[in-house]
Amino acid sequence: MSLSILAVDDSRTIRDMLKLALTQAGFEPQLAEDGVHGLEVLDGLQPDAIITDINMPRLDGFGFIEAVRGQDAHRATPILVLTTESAPELKARARAAGATGWIVKPFDPAKLVRALHMVAGPGATA
């Protein structure tokens, strides 16, 4: 058994890359295109971790995290933020919004996987 991950990003390229990296690591990715879509996909889903972009149409990453944290079922679901800036205030803002951690874009697949294990554990059989 592997980790199931919900990845939300409005860029098709980044979604493709996330999907590839996650699949190659043996994870099960679910993808969404923006915050609103992310919440729809999340409905009824219990992912082991969520990865989200910040700059997105309709509902941005901060709004998405807030909405996810507002649901009892996802109060403690680990959420990693994808960001192109590694500035400390951005991290602080991500954390203030309820994010668990962050990944700097462009991400290194190995580091992404390590970060996911760090927040979501090794999966059931590991």
Partner 1 sequence: MTSPDPMAEIRASFFIECDELLEALQDGLTQIDEGAADDETVNVCFRAVHSIKGGAGAFGLDDLVRFAHRYETVLDEVRGGRLALDHDAVLLFMRAADILFDIVRNCRDDVETDATAVEPTLRELESLTGGSEGEEEEEVADFQPMTLSLDLGLGAVDTGDTRYEIRFRPERELFASGNEPLFILRALGELGHTETECTLGAIPDLSKLEAEGALLSWKIILETNRARNEIEEVFEFVEGLCTLEIEELSGFSLPPLPDLPEISEVPGDSAESIESEDANSAPPISRLNLTLPGAQETQTPKTAPVSETPAPAHASAKSQTQRSSGSPSAPPATVRVDLERIERLVNLVGELVINQAMLSQSVAQAGIPANSPVAQDLEEFMQLTRDIQDSVMMIRAQPVKSLFQRMARIVRESSASLGKRVRLVTDGETTEVDKTVIERLADPLTHMIRNAVDHGLESAESRIEAGKSEEGCITLSAAHRSGRVVIEVSDDGGGIDREKVRAIAEEKGLVQAGQSLSESDTDALLFLPGFSTAKTVSNLSGRGVGMDVVRKSIQDLGGQVHITSTPGKGTSFSISLPLTLAVLDGMVVEAAGETLVVPLGSIVETLTARHENMRALGADSQVLQVRQSFVPLLDLGVELGFREPRSDYHGSVVLLITLEDGTRSALIVDRIHEQRQVVIKGLQESYGYVPGIAAATILGDGQVALILDPVDLLSSANGKTRYRSADLQIAG
Q: How far is the CB of 64 from partner 1 (least distance, A)?
A: 14
The tokens describing 46, both together, are 């219990």
Count how many residues are written for the chain: 126
The three-state secondary structure class of 57 is: coil
Interface residues toward partner 1, by CB under 8 A: 1-4, 10-14, 16-17, 20-21, 24, 28, 30, 32-33, 36-37, 40-41, 43-48, 55-57, 73-79, 84-87, 95, 98-102, 104-111, 114-115, 117-124
Q: How far is the CB of 103 from partner 1 (least distance, A)?
A: 9
Q: How far is the CB of 14 from partner 1 (least distance, A)?
A: 6
Supply φ then ψ for residue 109, to 5 degrees.
-55, -40
- Between 36 and 67, whose beta carbon lies closer to partner 1? 36
Half-sphere exposure of 82 (CA within 13 A, CB side): 27
- Please name the helix (run of DSSP H) or strand (run of DSSP E) that holds residue 104, with its range, or none: strand 101-104
